[in-house]
Each structure stands twice: as structure tokens, then as C-alpha cells.
Amino acid sequence: MLVQLLISGFLISAIYALATTGFTLLYGVSGILNLAHGTTLATAGIVAWYVAGLTSFGPIQIIVAGVMAGIVVGLLTYALIVRPIQRLNGLSEADEHVFMLVGTLLWTIILQEILANVFGDVPVSVPQIVSGVVNVFGVRTPISSLLVAAISWGILGALWLYVGFTKSGRSLLAASVNPRGLVLCGFNLTSIHQVVWIIYGLLAGVAGVLIAMVHGVSPSGGLELTATAFSIVILGGLGSVTGSLIAANIIGFIETATAYLVGPSLRSLPSLIILVAVLYFRPQGLFGRR
């Protein structure tokens, strides 16, 4: 049982890490908490499921379809919700944050209603990448689940290389530390925000397809996914990618243990309890700067 918990916890933690990194990166660069995050994940998974059932596409093409859906939803969120609020005159920073939270929350409700009316409000799953199982330390584990974990960590590694070793990536890092100084150096902050929204959509798209492949997704499940992601980024520290990766593993293992030892219906409860405890005792999280 212990080995099974460790393996299952590792697999779901990899997906959580991928799903929350975009959320954290978005906040770190632009200061926006996107409450439509869970519905963005669900949209990517549902579109991938629909394309898989409608066509004879292979796994890569199905994943690409879901990723494109994630990017489109991310850019729509930016164009229809975020950018108009940023252009409002006379808003204080605190008011802008409130408007962003309310705007993205209303947007996620709209997206959920659209998805439910078009596809139906039922859980759907994306076909596995490959079939078959392997024996890992005595535990029969689907090969597809191991590939899902490898894809998740591979994309996170590519993101680390992009941020650390490219001019565009380093500008994102600079924007999270000192956006005003970046503007004084001649960079266009709006362009940087657009790039981070594209990256966010890409990460959310891949994560949404992988979540649909492992657990399934539904339109009404978007808020639950947002709550889990929010718990992870709060525990790790707002804006800290390292903190999110560590917190994703903590939450992933705790949820897996809860599902096995208590019941699958209560797997999300510990993350909500942790969220309340962190907000009460350590609001900045494990690695947050503020």
C-alpha cells in the first residue's frame, strides 16, 4: 500500500506541478490571480476528448488540439477580461485586484455554462497515450501514467531552460522582479504580458489534457481544479515557481493518501484545509516574497 501511495502520489504531483506553474508564472509576471484557471484546464481536456471521439487522430494530435484550446481560452481571458480592466482609469491597485478576481470568476462561470450546453455537464476522459502496464517496485502501473509524468516534468524542464537561458525568458523573470525598471530599459510590458498569457495557455492546455487522461474532467469541475491550484500556489508562495513545485508534491501526496485511506470523494478536502491554515498562520506561503 505504501509503495502504491508513493507511485500514485508522484504521478498526480507531476500533473499538479505542471498545472500550477502557469498559474504561478502568470501571477509573478503580471500580478493576476486567474480564477478561470480550472475552467481553462477543463476546456482543454474536453476539447481533446471531443476531437478524439470525432476524428481518428493520434495521441499527439489530440494533445495539440487541447493545447490550442488552452491557448485560445488564455488569450480570450486576457483580451476580454484582463486588458479592459487594466485600461480603466482611476482604479487603485487594490481595486484593480478586486476587479480582476470578480472578472475572472464571472468569466469562469460563463465558460462553464458554454461547455455544459455544448458538450453536456458530464465527466469525460481522453484516451490513454499507450496501453499496457509495467511492474514498478511490485506495483502494476499503467505505462501511459508514467508517460504523463515524464511529459509534465519534461515541459517544466523546457520552461526552466527558456526562462533561464533566453532573452525573452529572462524578460519574464525581470518583469516579476522589477517591471518599472524593465520599462525604463526599453521593454514593452504589454508585449511581455501577452507572451506570458500564451505560455500560460500552453501549460494549462497540456495539463488539462493530461488531467482528463488520468482523472477525467467536466465543466462543473473547473472550480474544484481552481481551488486545488489556488491551494498549491498559496502554500508554495504567490509568484514562487519553486514553491509551487514543492507544494504540488505535498498536496499531490496528501490528496492521494486521502483518496486511498479515506475515500475518493474527500480527496480535495485536505487541500482546502491546508489553504485555510496557510492563510491564517503563514500568508506568504513557504517561499513567497510577499
- C-alpha dihedral over 220, 211, 42, 195, to 10 degrees? 150
- The pTM (predicted TM-score) of the whole model is 0.89
Query: What fold is seen in the domain 2-281?
Result: ABC transporter involved in vitamin B12 uptake, BtuC (1.10.3470)
HEC letters along the chain: CHHHHHHHHHHHHHHHHHHHHHHHHHHHHHCCCCCCHHHHHHHHHHHHHHHHHHCCCCHHHHHHHHHHHHHHHHHHHHHHHHHHHHCCCCCCHHHHHHHHHHHHHHHHHHHHHHHHHHHCCCCECCCCCCCCEEEECCEEEEHHHHHHHHHHHHHHHHHHHHHHHCHHHHHHHHHHHCHHHHHHCCCCHHHHHHHHHHHHHHHHHHHHHHHHHHCCECHHHHHHHHHHHHHHHHHHCCCCHHHHHHHHHHHHHHHHHHHHHCCHHHCCHHHHHHHHHHHHHCCCCCCCCC
The residues that bridge with 141 in the sheet, in sequence order, are: 134
CA–CA distance, 256 with 261 (Å, rounded to integer): 9
| CA within 13 Å, CB half, 87 | 8
**pLDDT per residue as tens, the chain (290 positions):** 677 788 888 888 899 999 998 888 888 888 888 999 999 999 999 999 999 988 888 888 999 999 999 999 999 999 999 999 988 887 787 888 889 999 999 999 999 999 999 998 889 999 888 888 888 777 788 888 888 889 999 999 999 999 888 888 888 888 877 777 777 777 788 888 889 999 999 999 999 999 999 888 999 888 888 888 888 888 888 777 888 888 888 888 888 888 888 877 777 788 788 888 888 888 888 776 55
Which grid coordinates are listed for 245?
Answer: 513545485
pLDDT given at position 288: 64
Do 229 and 37 meet the contact criterion of CB atoms below 8 Å apart? Answer: yes
- Per domain, the residue ranges of the chain are 2-281
pLDDT given at position 133: 81
pLDDT given at position 289: 57
